[in-house]
Amino acid sequence: MELSSLFKQIFNKDVEATYIAPARVNLIGEHIDYNGGKVLPCAISCYIKGLVSKREDNQIVTYSTNYSNMFSSPVENIKYIKDNDWSNYVFGVFEILKQEGYKIPFGLNVLLDSNIPLGSGLSSSAALLDLVLYIANDMYNLNIDLKTIAKLAQKTENEFCGLKCGIMDQAAIALGKKDKAILLDCNKFEYEYKDISLGEYSFVILKTNTPRNLVDSKYNERVEQCQKALSLIRNKLKVNTLCELEVNQLEKAKQLINNELIYKRVRHVVTENDRVNRFMLALENKDINELGNLLNQSHISLKEDYEVTGKYLDTIVESALDSGAVGARMTGAGFGGCAIALIRTEEFSKFKESVESLYFKKTKIHPEVFQVDIVDGPTRIN
């Protein structure tokens, strides 16, 4: 059924406005956004769509075509309810807006429809948060700028939904720009757009088809380990974030931390931040081999030092390299989800077939291998 017809059937009202927000992929700089590092994400052409109408009461009523269920809450009495799953992201936005002093003068009907692979590492949750904030901003004339939308989305995920994430995902989507990656300094929240055209080469996405739930995973544990490390070295090494450490300071940091596991987490953070800087130089020089090497190094570090990859991500990266990729690594938070690979564009069909065969042979799971465009951030489409 057409979405506008479904909307009319569910809410008994016509659609007044339609909005979209993209997913994002991070090219390099993983698990360092919450450590004050630099990252290189871009918004991509997978979308969540929101169809909206005003209500005459104070209820927020939302329906998801992906889950085929509906939830509602009065604006003045929003609570986090674990069993309500995805709707917490919708309601959480309105609760945070209230806490920040924004006026919510009427309720909304919101129908959501997404082709972003859920739990994939492409930030379906950040896309949903940014979308709902963009909708509220427009429907209520709140005059919130895009940077603030990203900050409020992060605040919602941190404080209402319980994931201690950094700003990268929300910013990458809110600030997305067609054909550009975003070099984002997560400590200062400063950013610049970067051209990533690579001639005969391009990035492709590899989906393991093994989703994960970050709140229930080891994500928050990694954040806490990094906070522990920072508390041990901050005063002696005079740093405010782990990413202020230089690679040549790692040995001193190791002595201060005196815990091999915690030190490994720090080593990943510091070397990954360094890889982002080297990646930018390789992009400028169109050095394809160096870009591939840095992707590979990033995955090894995430596997061995940060321990967030696992069987399926490791297998799909190995399959990509065995299928001719110049480089490949997991992207997103890990624990399942997606990887990216750098390949010669004209070899995509052969590459896709090979990865699907190798991965299935080892896991008995059918992966997805697909190309995406780099796109603009959230927008109203009618």
Cβ atoms 205, 372 nearer than 8 A: yes
Considering only CA atoms, which of 167, 164, 151 is closest in space to residue 215? 164
- Concatenating the DSSP letter of every residue in 330-341 gives EESS-SSSEEEE
Contacts for 297 with CB less than 8 Å, ≥ 6 apart:
271, 275
Report in angstroms the alpha-carbon separations of 179 from 68, 192, 294, 373: 34, 13, 22, 7
- The question of whether 83 is a catalytic residue gets the answer no
User: Could you tell me which residues are beta bridge partners of residue 25?
Assistant: 42
The residue assigned the tokens 């993209």 is 22
CA angle 173, 44, 39 (to 5 degrees): 60
CA angle 78, 161, 264 (to 5 degrees): 165
Marked catalytic residue, from 33, 130, 169, 274: 169
d(CA 179, CA 203): 12
Phi first, then psi, for residue 239 (nearest 5°) are -125, 150
Which are the catalytic amino acids?
Answer: 169
